[in-house]
Amino acid sequence: MTKPLVLLPTPRQLEFHAGNYKLEPGKRIVLVGARAPELLFSGQRLRDALHDLAHIDWTLAASASGARHEIGAVLCVDPARVNNAEGYTIDIKPDSIEVVARSLRGIFYAVCTLNQLISQSRNHRIPCLHISDIPTFQTAASCSTSAATKCRPCKRCSIL
| Digit-coded pLDDT (tens) for 69-121 | 999 999 999 999 999 999 999 999 999 999 999 999 999 999 999 999 999 99
- Number of neighbouring beta carbons within 10 Å of residue 80: 8
Domains of the chain, earliest start first = 13-133 (3.30.379.10)
137 has a pLDDT exceeding 90:
no
What pLDDT, on a 0 to 100 scale, did the predictor assign at position 91? 98
Cα–Cα distance for residue pair 28/129, rounded to 1 Å: 20
54 has a pLDDT exceeding 80:
yes
pLDDT band for position 4 (cuts 50, 70, 90): confident
Percentage helix, strand, coil, to 5, in the chain?
Answer: 25, 30, 45
What pLDDT, on a 0 to 100 scale, did the predictor assign at position 140? 44
Cα–Cα distance for residue pair 121/27, rounded to 1 Å: 17
Burial class (CB in 10 A: 0-12, 13-18, 19+), 4: exposed
23 has a pLDDT exceeding 80:
yes
- Distances in whole angstroms, Cα of residue 61 to Cα of each of 9, 22, 132: 29, 20, 25
Q: How many alpha carbons lie under 13 Å from residue 40 in its C-beta half-sphere?
A: 5
Q: Decide which of 94 and 138 is more confident.
A: 94
pLDDT band for position 2 (cuts 50, 70, 90): low
**Average pLDDT of the chain to the nearest whole number:** 87
147: which residues sit within 8 A by CB, 6+ positions away?
A: 45, 48, 49, 51, 52, 53, 115
Give the range among 60-64, 71-75, 152-156 with minimum mean pLDDT: 152-156
148 has a pLDDT exceeding 50:
no
156 has a pLDDT exceeding 80:
no
